[in-house]
Amino acid sequence: MIKKNIVILVVLILTMAVLGGICLYYYNQGFLQNSENKDEADKEIVISESSIKALENADLDIQYKTIEGVDPSFLTLDVYPVKDIKNAPVVVFVHGGGWTSGDKAKVYQGPESFLDFFQRNKTVFVAINYRLLFSDKAPGAIYADQETDIASAVKWVHDNISLYGGDPENISLFGYSAGAQMVSLVGTDEAYLKAEGLSLNNIKKVIAFDVDAYDIPRAIVEGVDYNYPYAEGELTKFFSFDLETQKAASSINHLFSSKKYPEFLVVYSGAIISKKGKTTWQELSKRQAELFVEAILRVGGKASLYGDLNMTHTELGLNFGIMDFGPTIEVQKFLYNK
C-alpha cells in the first residue's frame, strides 16, 4: 500500500513538472503576457486544437536577417504552412504593442485566433518580430527601423515561401495596432521595399487593424477634439516633435495618383473601458481611418473601411477569428471574396 502511494505521488509530481514546463514555455513565447491590459493576463489562456496542430507543423524562429548589436529574436519569423497545398495565398502578420512591446507568438491566442482563421482559409501565415523602440536589445532603434525590418521579412518570404507551399506573387500584409501603422507605411512608401529589391507590386493587399497614426501631425492636433487627449504624448514619444519626421512616418503622405498601391482594408474601434468598468468613446481612430481611406480613393487606389465604435481595441484583437465577428467577416470578404 505504501509503495502504491509513493508511485502515485511520483506520478503527480512528474505531471505537475511537465505542466509547469509547458506554461513556462508559453510564457516565454509571450503567450501568457498581454501588452494592452494587465488584467487580461489573469484570465485563462486557451489554445485551440487547430492552433496546436498548426504549431506542430510550423517552422519557428527563422532568422530573416542579422544586425550587429540587435537581439537576434527581434529579427525572426514563424511560418505556418498549409498541408498538401501549393501556391497558397500568403499573409505576413505584424503584431502590435505600442511600438515598444509585443511578440509574434501571440497569434495563436484564444479559442479562435488569427492562426485559426488563416489555417481555415488555406493560407500560409507568417508572423514576424521586429526591433522594438526603447529596448536595450535594439539600442538606438527608431520607427523607420521597424518598417525596414518588415521589408526585410517580406523579402525573405518572397524568396523562400514557395518551399512552404506559398505563392510568392500573392503576399498580403496584416498589421494590428502599432503594426497597422507599420504595414500601412510599408504599403505606401515604396522606399522600404525598394531597399530590398522589391516594389509595391509585390504586395497584393494590406489590412490595417485599428491605429490612430495614418496622419500623425493631424492626429496630434486633433486628439483632444476626438476625445483622445493622449495622442500628442504618445505619438511625439514614438515619432518625435519634428514635423518632417512625423510626416515621413504618416502613410497618408505617400499617396500619389502616379503610383499603384495594394488594396487596403482599414478597421477601427472606439470604446474604452476603464478598470472600474466605465465606458467612454474616442473617435480619433475612426477619424484617422476615414482620412486615410479617402486619400487612397482620391489617388485612384482601392480601399474599404469597417468600424464599430462600441468595440474596444482589445476586443478587436482577441475576437478576430470568431466566425460571426464583424471584423472576421470583413477580412474574409476582403481576402477571399466570400
Catalytic machinery residues? 177
Query: How far, in Å, are 61, 68, 172, 183 from residue 201 at the CA level?
Result: 27, 31, 11, 14
Residue 315: Cβ within 10 Å count: 16
Nearest to 306 by CA among 323, 290, 284, 295: 290
Handedness of CA 190, 168, 207, 35 (dihedral sign): negative
Burial of 7 (C-beta count, 10 Å sphere; 0-12/13-18/19+): exposed
Residue 9: Cβ within 10 Å count: 10
How many alpha carbons lie under 13 Å from residue 234 in its C-beta half-sphere? 17
Q: Can you read off the three cell numbers belonging to residue 276?
A: 472600474
How far is 87 from 315, CA to CA, in rounded Å?
33
Nearest to 75 by CA among 11, 143, 146, 181: 146
Nearest to 176 by CA among 66, 284, 95, 257: 95
